[in-house]
Structure formats: structure tokens, C-alpha cells
Chains A and B, each alone.
Chain A
Amino acid sequence: MGEFKVHRIRFFDYMPSAIRAMAFSTRTERLALARADGALEIFNFSDNYFQEKVLPGHDGRAVEALCWVGPRLFSAGLNGEITEYDLENLRPRYTVDAYGGPIWTIGVNSQGTLLAVGCEDGTVKMFEVLKERIQFQRNLDRQRGRIISLSWHPSGTLIAAGMMDMIRIFDAETGRATHRLVVDRGAGASKSKEVVVWSIAFLSDYTIISSDSAGKVQIWDGLNGTLIRTHLITKWDVLALSVSQDESSLVAGTSEGTVVQFQFLSSTVDRLDKDWVRTRTFKNHSHDVRALAHTETAVVSGGMDTQLVVRPLLDKVEKNTRESAIRKVSFPHRSLVCCAKKAGVLLFQFPDHLELWRLGESDGYGKPGGSLPVKRGPEKLIQLKRKGEDHICCSALSPCGGWLAYSTVTSFRLYRLLNGSISICKVSKLPKDLRPAHQLCFSTDSSKLFASSSNSSVVVVALNEPECKYLGTLKAKYGCRQPVHLLSASENGKWLATANTDCEVHVYNLDKLKLHCTVPVYGSCPTAMAIHPTTSNLVVVHADQQIFEYSLVKKEYTEWSRRLQKQGLHSLWLERDTPITHVTFNPKNPAHIIVQDLFMFCIIDKSLPLPEAKNVLYNQMTLRSLPEPDRVLHSHGFKICKDFQHLLCVSLLEDHSLVVVERPLLDIVSQLPAPVRQKKFAT
């Protein structure tokens, strides 16, 4: 596997933001997730839960509710505005003020024609969904007290709205309130406190299910307005509800971090009358579960502890397969760290600032596995605060450490770093074509900057001291609209590879500024790619953990790639649940490919045989215990190191030392606010 001097970095204080709302679209199998800082993330559930798109946050935007209308995504927040998003350009398309104070909830009818929002002032406002915009239609009967939650009946004729201490049922056509269901307050001291109906669900059989701040999940008859059943599931709040598509199961998330499942079961085998019965309890969170989605096969939950948890329902999936494993998404599926290989400088990207660090140095020698004495500690060079209210969406540092660029949804900025990256000055004269970008990349010799912009195009800018010159725009073909999320330039400056969320990988010839070739489209989204410095082979890793090597010269898959596809990857490799986020190469050994995900990094040695199904994949420890001659027999091409966990970046510097950026989950947990106090047995 080889020996490396490792810079083990734990000073990247990245803190993900709490999850606020979720919406799952069954049609597109995509989950939209809103975080507390206003950022939106789109996960593709059909493609290994890959985080396809990230819409950066905005200071004034607090998303309280999300809603899919077909392929369109709407959000509403406490700023009182309804926003529709442009998912191709990763930015809000437009906002509409509802003029009703903060909006707590949003819901669309099953036909997708009307959008209802619940406002602080007690009104439910209806908006008509038009092709390009939404238009206010009317108000339903105004109530005293805010509308916290609402749910449409699938027929679209009734709306149930959760308020303080009660639930109102409205006739959607006339706008009249037809029923008033009074929700009990909690017992004891909380008797004097108003109970908040946090979430509500209206089922097609006119059953209403509500969850409230007194810890109850209540089942109501929506036609007669009577209470059928009360399930007390926690002492604290029940914040979220989600019903499965076939209305046979529902989940409720509590402040304790538990998710409780209810199922619609018949009491005996041969009888038809069914009842909602509390069944399973999942405890995957330490803090409030704020958002829930019930997909066909899984319960998706997220909350204050910033993790997205996909818990498959074992009765719906095949047991002991990839599908039945629980998945936790705690870090973005893209790199937030940029490493200047020549200068030994790291750039950390935060939503509201950038940090520039110089790596420490050591001149000692030590045993493998030991730690070296540090001669010069790491140094924080620059902290660069962003301008404006929009959060940083992407950033890049040139390999020489002389240029720094970042972009938000509205602006693009380029800086020149001088005197060993200590002083910084903004490059003011930028070409007009350099618009806000989705992804940034410098060429290896730091002479060019590539910025991906709308419609999968890439702007190429030559970096010169007094002025930056626009060289041209690389365009794949007409009709390609998805944003580019990966950019990779070759070492020799000849090629540039781009990948977009439509799974297309294009390679451009930078000399001619023309499309060189398009890699055959594979069904899964690329998560990382890189061009080999000497052989000019493009290595692409996809969300389903497949690895391809494509020869740019021959415009075909290489021999090794074909062999890999023929034999298939090891099942344990395929079962890993975090995508590969980084690919680099070892300049000393051209046969080595270094790939990295959250829990391991792996050196793929193309000269060694591939692991077969019967081989042990994680064999580094056993190899070490074997005598020298036997090692060759047992070794295979995938050399996996799990010594470092929660890896955000693994990069090989020019001096052949390895930079490993870790962000232990425990550090994140320790920074979270205290969870609700619970009595633990025997404490």
C-alpha cells in the first residue's frame, strides 16, 4: 500500500445546519430537504440517496415548509414569502409575499392546481398554480390564532388546519369552516399552556390524524368531527407526521428523537374493520425530529441533530440486502475542502466564510502508525467573510496558492493571494461572461479558471496579473440544462471533464475549446472524477459505487475498466453507504488510484488482481499478520484504510505527504444544543 506522511487535520469546524422541513416526491423519487440556514438539498432516492443538488442558503430565508407540485418545488417560510425554486440553476426563481405574516405551512391539493398556505394571522390563503408563477386566489374564513399545519383531503374539497388548541376543517370550495375539533391540553402543569397542533394529515377515508405539543397523536373522524382514539406517545412534543402513499402506515416524530410508527391493521384475521395501532419505535436521533417523510419502503427523518436518516421498513424490503440497511447522511456529498497541492494550503468552505490554512511541518522520522513531532503547527492565514446575504455556493483555490475564487447565487468573486498567501486583494476587473457559478476549478498550472454556469456550460478565463481575459465558453450540445456539479482539469492542461446531474460526462479539448468526446451515459450520477496525469484516462466513480476508466485518447473504456465490469465489484464495496467524493492519483506510481469516502480511503492498484467475491475485502490487517511471501497470494487491488473516519478530504501533496481532513461526528454532537431531558432508567 505504501507509506505516507499524513497531515491529520481536525481543525475544520464545519457545522451542518439543523433539518427543518422535508418533502418527498413519489413521482420523481426525490426528497427535498430544507435546513435551518435556508439551504435546500435534493436527494435522489432512486440513485442511492445521492445528494444531487444543493441550493445555498440565504440569511433572511427561514424555510418552514416545503412542497412539490409535480417537478416544481415551493417553499414557505417565516419571512412571509412563498418561493419557487429554479432547480436547473440552483436558485430561487421568484418569491411571492402572502401578506399574512409568517407562513407556517404549505400544502397542495392532489390535482396540483391549488396551493394553500397557513399564516400567522389565522388565514388559509389559496394560490392558483399557473405555468410560470402562482397567483393569489382567495382567503378561507379567517380564524383567531395562527394556522400551524394544514392538510388537503385527497379529493380536494376539504382542508384540515391545525391551530392552537384546535383543528378546523374548511370546505375548500366555499371557504367556510365546517368543523371545530378541540384538542385536549396536556395534564398537570401544562394545563394552562396552549397546545399546538404541530402536524396534521387528512386521509381519504375522512380520518384526520393530528400530532400536538402535548405528546399526543389523535385520530379523528373528519366527517362528524369526533375523536376516535388518542395515543400518548411522548411527554414532549410530537412535531412531525407523515403518512404512506397507501395510507396503511404513518409515522410521527417526537422531541425525544424517536419516530413512532402506526399501522392500519384489522384486529383479527377475517374481519375487515381496521384500526390504527401503534407498532414500531425507531430511535435514530438524539434531538427533535422536525421533518419526516414516509416513502414506500422507508421512513426518512431529520431534525435538530442535522442528520438525515433513512430507515427502511423491513416488511417492505428484502432482508439483509443493500436496501435493508439503515443510512445516515451527515455530511454533504461534495467536497468542502480545496487543497493547493503545490503550496500546501487548504481552503475550507463554510456557508458564510472561507478559511485559508497553511499545513504544519515536521522533519522527524517515526514508526508507521506513530505520530511525528510537529516543527511548525498549522496556521490560519485568512478568514474571508462573504459579502451580501447569499451563502457561498462554491469556492476554489489554485494549486499554486495564488488565486482564490468563490461564488454565491448572485455574485462571483476572484482574489489574488500574495506574499505566501498572507495578503489578499480582490480582482476587480472581471470579464462580463463570468457569472455566478455552480462549480469552480483552476487548471494545474494556475493559469486558467473554469466556472460552470447555466445550461451545463463552462466559462474559461485566463488569469493574468493585471486583467483576466475571457477565453470562451464550453458548451456540450443543445438541450442540456442540468447544472454541472463536477469539474476536473487534466495535469497537462489539455483536457477538462465536466459532469452534470443528468449523469452526462463531457470532455473538452482546452486547446481547441471544443467538445472532445462524451463518455457513454451510465445510469447513476457521477460523484467524483479525475483525469490521470500521464495516461490521460478519465476515472469516474458513480453513486452506485461503480468505477469506470475511460481512455480519452482512444475514446473507449480501458482494458482494466472492462475487466472490472466483467468481474464485478466486491459485494462489500457495493454495500458501502457513502459515495466516493474524491479521486486522486499517486504521481510516483501511475497504477495507483486513490479514492475516498466518509469512512475510508482506498488505493486501487491496477496492477494487482481484482478481489473476487470469496476474498476478504478489508484485508489490510490480515495481510500485516502474514509472512512476506504469503502476502502476495492474499493481496488484491483494493487496499482500504479505515484508520481515519469521517473524512472530508484526502489529498496527496507534491511532497508525497497525505492530507487527511477529518470531522468527527462527536464534535458535531457536542456543539448541538442540549436535548430534552429524559429520565433514563437507573439514573
Chain B
Amino acid sequence: MVEHGDIRVVRRGGSKINFRQPVITNDSRLLLCASGHSVKVFSTSTEECVHELRGHTDLVTGVVVKPSNHLQAYSCSLDGTIRLWDFTDGILIKTYDIGYSIYSIHTSAFHKGVVFTVTSTISDKKSESFQLVAVHLPQSGDQLVKAPELSAVISDVSSNPGAIVFGRGGEYIASANGLHLEVFFFKKQKTYRFFLKKDTKTGGKNTFMCVAAHPKDDCIATGHEDGKIRLWRNFNHQKEYTYSTLHWHSNAVSSMCFTPEGTNLLSGGVESVLVQWRYNDVSQRDFLPRLGAAITHIAVSPDGALSCTSHSDNKITIIQGIKVSAVLQGLVTGESVETDLMVDPRSKALVLNGKPGHLQFYSLKRDKLLYNLDIVQQEYIHELGLQQFKVVKVAFDASGNWMATVEERKQKDAEQELNLKLWAFDEQTQSFVLNTTVADPHESRITAMCFCQAAASQTTMLISASEDGHFKAWQLRRLAPGEDDGPSCLCDFVGAYRGLVPHCCCFSADGSLLAVSFQEVVTVWSPASWELLATLSQPPKAIRNLCFGRLSCSKYLLGTTDDHLLCCWNLLTCSLEWSTSMDISLLLGDPLTENIAAFCCHAGSTDLFVFKPSEPRPVFSLKAVCSGKVTHAVFAPREEMLESCEESSQWLNHSQLYFLTQCMDLMTFTTKAEEEKLMASSKQLLIDDSVAMTPFYLLLGKHRKGESGAAASGESAGRPPLPQGSGAVKELLRTPAHVLPSTSFLCSMFVKSLLVSVGDARSVESKPAEEEMESEKEEEDSEGDMESSASRPERGSLARRSAEPAAPPLTKAQLRELRRVKKLDHSWLTGLLRS
């Protein structure tokens, strides 16, 4: 087997944005947050991701704005580097190599040229102990700088960045870990330690969770496991320190933050309520409830106008005053994905458990949450240890018209509650609408569920297999408009095999066969007549996965067993074609090709094999894809086919393979070519959001683009740009109307300048001018209609021909844009001329 160097495992979309505390820039316009291996820069007003600062090779563990330059930011990562970014332009300025994994970063204005990082204690890496280290960043012009000057400040700190904070302009630093609070004064070089008892008699749990320091007073707020907040004062005395206690939270306080003026203290926890305490009058507090999920981090902008909270469901809420103004939602992965990964055939979105009781539809291409679908339709109560309805299974039919979900609630004493819900796609609302609810479809947990993937039949068939030893076939039927609401879902067949428990079920690609595995036996049924056609078995262990081959390999049925065997049966002969021994945790068929992907757990890490059932040699194999077991993966069809001719990467042409690692990171495989393409496209022009979105702005934006476009093609066309004209327009637009001279005077001036330039262009080259004339005429025909008309393709090709000789070939889309811009520009001019 050859290692394929050009295929890499990357994080592509769906990474955590709630991992560390986000940072709001000084002007409150941008929000920076660590996200996987990169730092994302969001706009706080439009919720768009403005930049993605790529460069780190491991998890980014902290972002801070440089105190001496508020347009630059430091980020630190487990790869042992601190990087300095210009985040407005997305440029990497400098890389400082520390050499140790960094777990968090802290800065203060008091310390110039020094950043404080948390690293694991060097002496002994086994026990999880961390220390706070001051790193002196050397002044050097180089891109990559080694920072050798490290000095330990506090040993035995928490790796949680929320447990370390600078107080009052950086004069002291407070660190809480476990049951002690440590305050280090830089001026006096003195440390004060305060200890709390583990548990109080009244049931309080005193473990420190987070720390915040008042910006002006000597007051440290600490959050505790039992929901108390302590305000420490007088902590420059070992003995005469004092604290007061605030208590609102019922569970641990996970994050706290003082506002920059120090008038308010914000705190949050599992209750998903942001509590605002008045610093001077702590009996007064304001609440912002129903934030959706447990609060993990709180940050406030330096001007105090905005605050933001990170939530456990991978969400950042931006709050203005005490009102939510924007929500940045990432992919919710939670602790477990019970529904498995699915791809919605219609929107090509990734579907999995989202918010509690919801399904999320996440667009992988745009790396954005499309919408959440409320499946359970019950209020979720934010409390630890409460058993609530969970969505455990979801299935789509081939066309995306039907979706089936299973939700269950497991209670300690009571019986299990199960609901099977069927959702039909509603064309009008463009979303799924609840069609049928089947309460208690089975007597016990549902182990597998699948739709018949064959297209074009009046009814759709759904198979559900359960631990009660039965599998049921459900007939779904879309109601015709005239019909009144009769039953649209009927149980068609109940199957069982020797009282064994079914575990997997799978339809063949044409829908003519259904395979259901009953422990070690695979039964093959005909869905048309519900006849048991054949039984295949590979004792002694139970079947773990089942998968039919597709296209040319549709005669094969693949299965994996618990004793690490991969078997391939030939359905024509009903015999075992081949089998091999490997510990496969997940077997997955590509719906578009005959490729089968197998994730194979081997020595603590997972290997990937991609093969065709008919061929003995794997198409592709990659060792040590990630550590731990992979249990969730999905083939997502590509929107545009990739044209890779390399044998090893051909399997990625039609669809992309996404998988979830054990730590719930969404990973995918990418080829080199694809990566390069992506890098190129990321250098796109960005909308400057400082300009308000007005019709004028649109005009100007287009105009500017046209300029650059014209500049690109200008050489070949030999047409000089219109500097005076555009300058005059700018001038005109910038100057207030009441100070402008009379319009008639201006107009003639405009016309004059414009006439000259057009004349120039004409005299040099006639062809574009003709085109322009043509387009002007067209403009008169269809006012403002930007859609391409019938004659458009021809003109496109014409233009390409004219451009071809000199300039590098432009893509069709670019050319079209160029054309449109030219047309627009001149139509405006004609308007001027006419007046």
C-alpha cells in the first residue's frame, strides 16, 4: 500500500467557535475567536465571517488583542507558536516560536513586550500541572522569531484561561485553581494565597471555576462550583482579606466578566441566563434569560458597548445592552451525535443533532448553519441531570421528500418513551413539516432505520428495526390535494427471525432487496412480497454493519462482524465471495459511486480504506487518520465534480468524505489541487462594511470593481481607464449637495470630460466601442434587466476571443461580470449625457 501524500485530513467547517473566550475589537466592529486550527474574524453587525486567519498547525488555544496596538492580535496554539496578526486585513505579521504547547495567553497594558502564557510544567509531563510563564517577545524584523526568554510567574495554575486574570491595569494577576486563589503583585513581587474548604456543611461546593478582576478597584470576583460568586477585597493582606458572597446561579458559574468601567459584573452558567450584577449595589441585578444553551465564556468589548457570550452549543451571542443583537452559530456537535451524520438530499446540508431536541441543517460548503428543525417540540429545561427527549435516529429518502425521526426519553423508573415522526417536505415553506407521529412504534429501542432508496414509486417505504426482535415496514404515501386526511403512514409488515434482535437494515440500490441482520445472521427479504429470500451468516459474532454495493457492484452485500471480519457476499450465488480480518468500526457506501469506505480501528488510531467490492486492491488507504475510534462519517456529494485524474484521489471526485473524531471534530479529506483552489478563492475582494448599504454604495462598489476589472483587461483592449471621470464622480458624491455649484454647470463639465475619454477609446479600438453601442441599445430595450439575454453567450465568446491573445484566459463568470460592469457604467453615463 502506498501512502498518498497529496490527500490530507483537514478541518473544513464545523469547528468549534466556543472553545475559548472570543475577543471584541476596540471599535466593536469585529469579533475574533479561536476556531480549530485557525482564528475566525466575524463582523459583529452582519454576523459574516470576514477573515479566517490560517497558519497554526494545531488547535488554537487563545486570542488576545495586542495591548499596544489595537489593530493587531496575538493567537497561541498547541503547536507552540504565538502568532501576531493584522486581523483587519487578515495578514500574518510575525510568528514567535516558544517551543512548548501553549494552553492560553494573557496580556496586559502594564507589561510591554511581554505576553503571559500557560504551558504544562516542563519537568514532568505526565501529571496535568500547568504554570504561568512570562514570554519576552524579542524585537526583530524577521517573520519567524524564536522567543527564548521565558520566566515562570505562577506555578500550579489551571489550564482554563478563565481562571487567570489581570487586575487593575495589570498591577497584579490572580489565578484560581482547585480550592485556592493566588494573587501575585508585580510591583512588590509578592504572592498571596487564599484557601477555601472543599465542602461546607450546608452543601456548598467551593471549587473555583472562574475569576474576574475589577478594572479600577482592588476587587476580585470568583465563581464557584455551587453557583456562588465571591467578591474578594483587601487581598493584599494574608490575614485580613475579606469577601462577600453573591448567589443566584444554581449550578456552577462558568464565566464572569467585569464591564470596562467596572460598574457591572456579568456572569453565566448552565442556566443559560446572563446575569448582570451592579457592582455598587449587588442586590440589583438584570437578567437576559433563554440564551439557548449553557454559557461557557463571556467577553465585553473595550468600550463596553457590546458583550458576547459563548455557549456550549457552539454559538456566540452578541449582546448590546441587555438585548441580543446577533448570533454566530457554528456546527453543534455536543457530547454525542446519536443521529449519526446524514446529508439532506435536497439542500446537501449535513444533518445531525443540534440544539437539544432539534436537528440542525448545516451547509458544509458555506460553513454556516442553515436552520434548526424542532423535532421534539417540547420546552427544554436547562438543568443538569434531567432526562429529556432526545432525537436518536433520522433518515431521509432518496428524493428528500420524506424524513423520519425517532426520539426517545429514558427515565430511571418509568418506561421508555418512543416516538417515530415522519416529516414531509413542504415546497412552499421550503422546510420539513410534521406529517405523522407514531407513538410507541416499537416496544423497545429502535436500533436501525432506513428508507428504500429506489426512486419513483408512489409510496415510500421505511424500515425500522428494534430491540424487541421485530422490524417493521412502514408505507408512506403523500396525500393528493383532493384527498382528505386519511392515514398517510401504514405499518405494512412486521418481520422477525427466530426471536433474535435485529441490528442493521439496508436496502439495495434498486430497492428490490432488503437486508436485515439478526445478530450473526443476515436475512435478505423481498420488499415486494415480504418473502425471506435468503439467509447469510458468518458465525460466531454479531453483525455490526451492513452495506449493499452499488452500480457495477450491486450484486455484493458487505458486512462487518464483532470479531473483526469484513465479509462480502455475492447475492447471485448467495455465497461468501471473500472475507478479510480487520476491526472495522464503520462501513460506509458512497451513494454516487461503487466505492466503499471502511474506518478501521487499529492500535488506538483509525485507518481508512476505500475499496470497490469487486476489486481486491483498495483504491485508497490512509493510516492513522486520527486517534480514537471513528463512529460517524458521511459521504457528502459534491456540487461540482472534481476533475482529478490521479488514481488515488479519484474516489473524492464525486463526493467528499466527512467524519467525526472522538473529540467531536468534523474532519474531511482534501487533495492538494482542491486546497490550492481554495487558497486562491479566499483572496477574494471583501465588502467594506464601513460604507452603508445604499443604492449609491452598490453603484460605487460595482463601479470600483469595474475599474479593477477594466484594469485587468485594459491592456489587451488598449482602452485607458477613466480616471478623471471616476474622480469627478467621487468628488461629486462626497461633497454635500448644498455646497455644490448648480447642476447644469456640473453637467456640462462632466459631459465634456467623459466625451473626451470615450472618443479616445473609440479612436484607438473600434470593437469594444461597437459593443458598447450595442449594449446601450440593449439597455434601452430592457431597463435595468441584468439577466443574460439570448444573445449573451455569443457576445461572451466574442469577448473572450478578443481578450485571448494577450491576457491570461478569464473565466466565463469573470467575463460576464466584466461585461455587466461595462454596460452598467455606460448606461449611467448615457443617462448623464441625455440630461
Residues of A near any B CB (own CB < 8 A): 230-233, 261, 263, 265-269, 277-281, 315, 681-682
Q: Besides the contacts A232-B284, A277-B244, A682-B250, what 11 more A-B pairs have beta carbons closer than 8 Å?
A: A231-B283, A232-B281, A267-B219, A268-B168, A269-B185, A269-B218, A277-B233, A279-B233, A279-B243, A280-B243, A315-B239
Residues of A near B185 (CB, < 8 A) are 269
CB-defined A-B contacts under 8 Å, sample of 23 = A230-B281, A231-B281, A231-B283, A232-B284, A261-B242, A263-B242, A265-B233, A267-B217, A268-B168, A268-B216, A268-B217, A269-B171, A269-B236, A277-B233, A278-B244, A279-B242, A279-B243, A279-B244, A280-B242, A280-B245, A281-B244, A315-B241, A681-B250
A315–B241 alpha-carbon span in the complex (Å): 7
User: Which B residues between 361 and 386 are near A, CB-CB below 8 angstroms?
Assistant: none
* Cβ–Cβ contact A263 & B233, under 8 A: yes
Residues of B near A279 (CB, < 8 A) are 233, 242-244
Instruction: Check if B282 is an interface residue, CB within 8 A of chain A.
Output: yes
* Cβ–Cβ contact B283 & A233, under 8 A: yes
A232–B285 alpha-carbon span in the complex (Å): 12
* Cβ–Cβ contact B234 & A263, under 8 A: yes
Residues of B near A681 (CB, < 8 A) are 250
* Cβ–Cβ contact A315 & B283, under 8 A: no
Closest chain B CB from A624 CB (angstroms): 28
* Cβ–Cβ contact A232 & B243, under 8 A: no
A501–B284 alpha-carbon span in the complex (Å): 51
User: Which B residues between 716 and 737 are near A, CB-CB below 8 angstroms?
Assistant: none
Residues of B near A267 (CB, < 8 A) are 216-219
A230–B284 alpha-carbon span in the complex (Å): 12
Query: Which residue from chain B places its CB closest to the CB of A267 in the assembled complex?
Result: B217
Query: Which residue from chain A places its CB closest to the CB of B282 in the assembled complex?
Result: A278
User: Which B residues between 269 and 324 are near A, CB-CB below 8 angstroms?
Assistant: 281-284
Query: Which residue from chain B places its CB closest to the CB of A314 in the assembled complex?
Result: B239
Instruction: Check if B240 is an interface residue, CB within 8 A of chain A.
Output: yes
What 4 A-B pairs are tightest by C-beta distance, nearest first? A267-B217, A279-B244, A279-B242, A232-B283
Closest chain A CB from B3 CB (angstroms): 59
A73–B654 alpha-carbon span in the complex (Å): 98
Residues of B near A281 (CB, < 8 A) are 244-245
Decide if the interface of chain B is mainly helix, strand, loop or mixed. loop
A681–B245 alpha-carbon span in the complex (Å): 16
Residues of A near B284 (CB, < 8 A) are 232
* Cβ–Cβ contact B244 & A280, under 8 A: yes
Interface size on B, residues (CB 8 A): 22
Query: Which residue from chain B places its CB closest to the CB of A281 in the assembled complex?
Result: B245
Query: Which residue from chain B places its CB closest to the CB of A278 in the assembled complex?
Result: B244
Closest chain A CB from B269 CB (angstroms): 14
Residues of B near A268 (CB, < 8 A) are 168, 216-218
Query: Which residue from chain A places its CB closest to the CB of B244 in the assembled complex?
Result: A279
Query: Which residue from chain A places its CB closest to the CB of B217 in the assembled complex?
Result: A267
A268–B213 alpha-carbon span in the complex (Å): 12
A232–B284 alpha-carbon span in the complex (Å): 9
A659–B739 alpha-carbon span in the complex (Å): 108
User: Which B residues between 216 and 264 are near A, CB-CB below 8 angstroms?
Assistant: 216-219, 233-234, 236, 239-245, 250
Query: Which residue from chain A places its CB closest to the CB of B240 in the assembled complex?
Result: A315
A336–B234 alpha-carbon span in the complex (Å): 47
A544–B118 alpha-carbon span in the complex (Å): 52
A530–B185 alpha-carbon span in the complex (Å): 60
* Cβ–Cβ contact A265 & B283, under 8 A: no
* Cβ–Cβ contact A265 & B216, under 8 A: no
Closest chain A CB from B730 CB (angstroms): 52
Residues of B near A315 (CB, < 8 A) are 239-242
Residues of A near B219 (CB, < 8 A) are 267
Residues of B near A280 (CB, < 8 A) are 242-245
Residues of B near A232 (CB, < 8 A) are 281, 283-284
Query: Which residue from chain B places its CB closest to the CB of A280 in the assembled complex?
Result: B244
A267–B185 alpha-carbon span in the complex (Å): 16
Residues of A near B244 (CB, < 8 A) are 277-281
Closest chain A CB from B282 CB (angstroms): 7
Residues of B near A269 (CB, < 8 A) are 171, 185, 218, 236
A233–B243 alpha-carbon span in the complex (Å): 16
A269–B168 alpha-carbon span in the complex (Å): 10
A281–B231 alpha-carbon span in the complex (Å): 12
A673–B171 alpha-carbon span in the complex (Å): 53
Q: Which of A265, A269, A682 has the most CB of B within 10 A?
A: A269
Closest chain B CB from A451 CB (angstroms): 46
Residues of A near B218 (CB, < 8 A) are 266-269
A651–B788 alpha-carbon span in the complex (Å): 111
Closest chain B CB from A100 CB (angstroms): 37
Residues of A near B236 (CB, < 8 A) are 269
What string of 1s and 0s marks CB contacts (under 8 Å) between B572-616 and chain A? 000000000000000000000000000000000000000000000
Closest chain B CB from A221 CB (angstroms): 17
Query: Which residue from chain B places its CB closest to the CB of A249 in the assembled complex?
Result: B242
Query: Which residue from chain A places its CB closest to the CB of B188 in the assembled complex?
Result: A269
Closest chain A CB from B198 CB (angstroms): 15
A265–B242 alpha-carbon span in the complex (Å): 10
Residues of A near B243 (CB, < 8 A) are 279-280
Closest chain A CB from B454 CB (angstroms): 54
Given contacts A280-B245, A681-B250, contact A265 B282 (CB under 8 A): no
Residues of B near A266 (CB, < 8 A) are 218
A268–B218 alpha-carbon span in the complex (Å): 5
User: Which B residues between 152 and 195 are near A, CB-CB below 8 angstroms?
Assistant: 168, 171, 185
A267–B279 alpha-carbon span in the complex (Å): 12
Closest chain A CB from B279 CB (angstroms): 10
Q: Which of B171, B185, B219, B234 has the most CB of A within 10 A?
A: B234
A233–B283 alpha-carbon span in the complex (Å): 7
User: Which B residues between 760 and 809 are near A, CB-CB below 8 angstroms?
Assistant: none
Closest chain A CB from B433 CB (angstroms): 38
Residues of A near B282 (CB, < 8 A) are 278
Closest chain B CB from A628 CB (angstroms): 38
Closest chain B CB from A479 CB (angstroms): 44
A346–B131 alpha-carbon span in the complex (Å): 69
Closest chain A CB from B273 CB (angstroms): 13
Closest chain A CB from B252 CB (angstroms): 15
Residues of B near A682 (CB, < 8 A) are 250
Query: Which residue from chain A places its CB closest to the CB of B235 in the assembled complex?
Result: A269
Closest chain A CB from B232 CB (angstroms): 9
A233–B241 alpha-carbon span in the complex (Å): 21
Query: Which residue from chain A places its CB closest to the CB of B247 in the assembled complex?
Result: A681
Closest chain B CB from A261 CB (angstroms): 8
A315–B238 alpha-carbon span in the complex (Å): 9
Residues of B near A261 (CB, < 8 A) are 242
A36–B243 alpha-carbon span in the complex (Å): 35
Closest chain B CB from A321 CB (angstroms): 14
Closest chain A CB from B124 CB (angstroms): 32
A479–B245 alpha-carbon span in the complex (Å): 53
A265–B217 alpha-carbon span in the complex (Å): 11
A115–B14 alpha-carbon span in the complex (Å): 78
A429–B729 alpha-carbon span in the complex (Å): 126
Residues of A near B168 (CB, < 8 A) are 268
Query: Which residue from chain A places its CB closest to the CB of B243 in the assembled complex?
Result: A279
Closest chain A CB from B214 CB (angstroms): 9
Residues of A near B240 (CB, < 8 A) are 315
Closest chain A CB from B480 CB (angstroms): 53
A682–B243 alpha-carbon span in the complex (Å): 26
A645–B300 alpha-carbon span in the complex (Å): 55
Closest chain B CB from A294 CB (angstroms): 14
Closest chain B CB from A660 CB (angstroms): 27
Residues of A near B234 (CB, < 8 A) are 263, 265
Closest chain A CB from B188 CB (angstroms): 9
Residues of B near A230 (CB, < 8 A) are 281
Query: Which residue from chain A places its CB closest to the CB of B219 in the assembled complex?
Result: A267
Query: Which residue from chain B places its CB closest to the CB of A229 in the assembled complex?
Result: B280
Q: Which of B185, B218, B250 has the most CB of A within 10 A?
A: B218
A266–B242 alpha-carbon span in the complex (Å): 12
A28–B320 alpha-carbon span in the complex (Å): 60
Q: Which of B219, B244, B250, B281 has the most CB of A within 10 A?
A: B244
Residues of A near B242 (CB, < 8 A) are 261, 263, 265, 279-280, 315
